[in-house]
Amino acid sequence: GQCAAVCPVGAIHEKDDTDRVWSAIHDTNKHVIVQVAPAIRVSLGEELNLSFGSIVTGKLIAALKMLGFTKVFDTNFTADLTIIEEGHELIDRIKKGDTLPMFTSCCPGWINYVEQKHPDMFKHLSTCKSPQQMFGALAKSYYSQRENIKPEDIYVVSIMPCTAKKYEAQRTEMSVNGIDPDVDAVLTTRELAKMIKQMGIDFNSLREMRFDKPDEVTSGAAAIFGATGGVMEAALRTVIEILDEKPLDSIEFDKVRGMGGIKEAGVTIKGETIKVAVAQTLSNAEILIQQVKAGTSPYTFIEIMACPGGCVGGGGQPYGTTHQVSIERIHAIYQVDRLTSIRKSHDNAAVSNLYEHYLGAPHSEKAHHLLHTHYTNRKIL
């Protein structure tokens, strides 16, 4: 269906994990926690008889608690963390004159493509793990220590818009101990809807709840990760402010928004203009790769999302995701951003607190060990 059309790499790995998750929930020896990606809160409602683009964050949390998850966390928290790590990586590369352009690394459909088709591009990829995997790594280290629960007794579930995330979670390159997955199971939007229906939950009448701490503090910058251009905009809000050492005049970057295949923008930092680009779908990504190979790429930073519209159009989203449906979900995502009081990742005090009490500083040894990864040549001859 839709998935095979837009998400060829992820589709191969599509399998139903709901039984595995039910078993973990019913296993009294397991501490089962769940994280929810930014794009789920604007699409799940459609599977449960609500209109396209409904924002269902509070009811979604309540439903997950009813299903039996002990803690419900927000992937937006580690999306903010991703922006801090990736933003500092970009700043470092600019200052040191290292390899540019730098490409984002949070979309496994894109990462699979580079590993299979363009291993010579690895040095252009950010080394940051995706928000899903940063969450998993922190769950099996920081959270495990804080709660005094052995990592092997913590079972981490993700709700993702994406079938390729199931594969990403299994990669040993993503594992803190190099063996066991940090994220134990990944459910798509469709699979979560199925579990809610299996339980007979009347979703619409649920009382809204909040995410568990510290993930109840997240920024609007993290919320927009689910739309094409969102990671770029979130990064710009942070990188420009750090380099310019003063608040941005305007935090909305309209040029990187919308359904264009390749979008570009010029931004001025310390009096110098740099160019950035955003591509959705791999055929557009290929155009930008060829520019880099030819030495003609004018860009400093490039965001790539494999799915049309970004994660709102992911292969794990409700069936029947049309162009128009993606646009409705994108509208909802920017509304979440506007309604959030903190709109920049570096203003998230809970993230700063995590650095202060656990990680040290961006790119510290601990941050590198937990939050960064490497890539593997899987070239198909």
Q: Is 42 in the site for ligand SF4 (CB under 6 A)?
A: no
Q: Is 192 in the site for ligand SF4 (CB under 6 A)?
A: no
Task: Rule CB under 6 A: choose which of 2, 10, 56, 342 binds ligand SF4.
Answer: 10
Site size for ligand SF4, by CB under 6 A? 15
Nearer to ligand SF4, 32 or 308 (CB): 308
Burial class (CB in 10 A: 0-12, 13-18, 19+), 227: buried
Q: Is 164 in the site for ligand SF4 (CB under 6 A)?
A: yes
Q: How far apart are the first and last CA of the chain?
A: 27
Rounded to whole angstroms, the Cα distance separating 278 from 254 reads 12
| Residue 339, C-beta contacts closer than 8 angstroms, at least 6 positions apart | 220
Interacting stretch for ligand SF4, rule CB under 6 A, among 59-67, 150-158, 301-309, 345-353? 301-309
191 is catalytic: no
Q: Is 187 in the site for ligand SF4 (CB under 6 A)?
A: no
Least CB distance to ligand SF4 at residue 285 (A): 11
**Catalytic residue, candidates 86, 115, 233, 241:** 86
Task: Rule CB under 6 A: choose which of 227, 236, 305, 371 binds ligand SF4.
Answer: 305
343-362 binders of ligand SF4 (CB under 6 A): none
89 is catalytic: yes
Least CB distance to ligand SF4 at residue 87 (A): 19
Task: Rule CB under 6 A: choose which of 56, 217, 307, 336 binds ligand SF4.
Answer: 307
Task: Rule CB under 6 A: choose which of 3, 7, 217, 239 binds ligand SF4.
Answer: 7
Q: State the catalytic residues.
A: 86, 89, 106, 126, 165, 168, 173, 311
Per CB under 6 A, residues contacting ligand SF4 are 7, 10, 107-109, 161-162, 164-165, 305-307, 310-311, 314
